[in-house]
Chain A
Amino acid sequence: MTTAQQTSIEKEPVRVKIDNLSKSFGEQVILKDIDLDIAPGEIFVLMGPSGSGKSVLLKHIAGLEMPTSGTVTLNSAETSDPDTFAKTKIALVFQAGALFNSMTVFDNLALYPREHRLYSPQKIREKVMSTLRILSLENAANKHPSELSGGMKKRVAIARALVMEPDLILYDEPTSELDPTMSATISEIIACLKKEVNVTSIVVSHDRDLSLTIADRVGIIMNGEIQAIGTPTEIKNNKDPLITEFLNPKIDLDNPRYKTLE
């Protein structure tokens, strides 16, 4: 991570503040009065069942969705102002990767520095290759995304986010579709970035182990509302039956609900 270290001094991690955010698509209410304050350099893990609105909240932070009411503020600049994203570098790791299918893996990574003319072509090549090596992707550099497995696509997506040297990284389910070893690697990378580059990370996940190991704070969201916020220990000790059930699901092999299937 030598290249990351070089820039770490100038970096100002982002403080993310969400006030009274509500979002509805037509009649359907997705998010209800969300209030969150994520400190600079913090790793915040957002957990919750599928369809609870985690990914939508992430898109709001990235500026891809605009709230029906309420605000999202990044370092005192609101996301409703397009200039905010010129000032703050945000990298979003999409759940499905969202790699550019028409480009090679190398070009996927090189696109951002090239378009913003951050470095000379020589330097860009070096940076991209070193980032690919971190995620053991150096052999995939000249492949197209369609030639990669799901897990590799996810790693390329993370690599693409890292090359951007962002102030804020948003991960949407970074470890889904990955085997346990690779999940562990991703967890290490997330934790390492905090230490080395001093970046704010927001991770949406329902991977309990990952969340409780790397998170500084964990938020649990259900049905569009924040149910609990706290350190991993606090969350583990939370007595709310909904949360304990979510974190420690019991597998009942004789659940009477599914008797009809036979």
Chain B
Amino acid sequence: MKQITRALEAIGDTIILMVRSFGYLGSIPRQWHRLIEQCYLIGYTTFPIVSILSFFIGSVLALQTGYSLQGFGAESFIGAVVGLSMARELGPVMVAILVAGRVGSAITAELASMKVYQEVDALKTMNIPPERILVLPRLLAILIMMPVLTIIGNVIGWFGGAVIAQYVPFIGTDMDAYFQSLRASVAFKDIFDGLVKAEVFGFCVILIACNIGLKTKGGPREIGHSVTRAVVVSLILILVLDYFVTKALL
């Protein structure tokens, strides 16, 4: 019972935080530098790890598909399998998980320590709402950066698959056939659906990270707890949301 109340409270707090933050949307031109800074931290610095992971996920997909299908002469399907699964599912989910682990945790840690060391209180006494300068730029930054990260992840993943398809002996499709099959089965709607999913995941991850950070009470130990909780909640939510968003987009 207590847990349910607490969960509902957390959901309510998160929604209130979102509404309040977007209430300050008008302040964005003045906060342009903060938006750019957050875009840089969320997007640009996450780019290398997204690239590396996407490449290997694409490769593994191609390898597994190639291995499973080699007896059936259906190696030409690899492009389709890698193309669709990266675009529709693995791209968005993987980027969201990386964002939760890399950006979400950092945001929670930063905001939680600001809360614990009374920086948030200081902002309040200065009559500067924390939602305006701490939450809103981050939410907008993730909305701008998430599609970019996801599309880069998709493309790099596709190339990872192509490299495997071409150079692993028992698969031995050439890149042309691979991309032919990919193009034949991936529609732009698949990419678009993937980007919508990524947007939803990214937004939720950052919102949760901000909320849990700002709700931290106590001392330095609680900062650690908050970070753990933010990451765990984000990961669960990504997978749960994945089901519902996918269903809604079908």
**Are A and B co-members of a single complex?**
yes
B125 and A91 within 8 A (CB) = yes
B126 and A111 within 8 A (CB) = yes
Residue of B nearest to A94 (CB): B118
The segment from A99-107, A173-181, A189-197 found at the interface with B is: A99-107
B118 and A96 within 8 A (CB) = yes
B119 and A63 within 8 A (CB) = no
A63 and B125 within 8 A (CB) = yes
Q: Shortest distance in angstroms between B113's beta carbon and chain A's nearest beta carbon? A: 8
Among B104-140, those with CB < 8 Å from A are 110, 113-114, 117-119, 121-122, 124-128, 133
Q: Shortest distance in angstroms between B136's beta carbon and chain A's nearest beta carbon? A: 13
Pick the contact of B121 from A64, A85, A91 — CB < 8 Å?
Answer: A64
Find chain B residues with CB under 8 A from A91 CB. 125-126
Counting CB contacts under 8 A, is A92 at the interface?
A: yes
Find chain B residues with CB under 8 A from A59 CB. 121
Residue of B nearest to A82 (CB): B127
Give the most central of A85, A91, A96, A98: most B CB within 10 Å: A98
Q: A102-B110, A115-B133 are in contact. Are A164 and B117 (CB under 8 A)?
A: no
B-side interface mostly = helix
Pick the contact of B117 from A85, A101, A116 — CB < 8 Å?
Answer: A101
Find chain B residues with CB under 8 A from A63 CB. 124-125
Residue of B nearest to A100 (CB): B119
The bracket for how many chain B residues form the interface is 10 to 19
Contact with B along A114-131 (1 / 0, CB 8 A): 011100000000000000
B119 and A99 within 8 A (CB) = yes
Counting CB contacts under 8 A, is A242 at the interface?
A: no
**A101–B118 Cα gap in the complex (Å)?**
11
Contact with B along A204-218 (1 / 0, CB 8 A): 000000000000000
Find chain A residues with CB under 8 A from B30 CB. 117
Q: Shortest distance in angstroms between A128's beta carbon and chain B's nearest beta carbon? A: 14
**A62–B133 Cα gap in the complex (Å)?**
20
Chain A to chain B: the 9 pairs with minimum beta-carbon distance, closest first: A98-B118, A98-B122, A92-B125, A112-B126, A115-B128, A85-B127, A62-B125, A64-B121, A94-B118
Identify the A interface with B (CB < 8 A).
Answer: 59, 62-64, 85-86, 89-92, 94, 96, 98-102, 111-112, 115-117, 164
CB-defined A-B contacts under 8 Å, sample of 22:
A59-B121, A62-B121, A64-B121, A64-B125, A85-B125, A85-B127, A90-B125, A92-B121, A92-B125, A94-B121, A94-B122, A96-B118, A98-B122, A100-B122, A101-B119, A115-B126, A115-B128, A115-B133, A116-B127, A116-B128, A117-B30, A164-B126
Identify the B interface with A (CB < 8 A).
Answer: 30, 110, 113-114, 117-119, 121-122, 124-128, 133
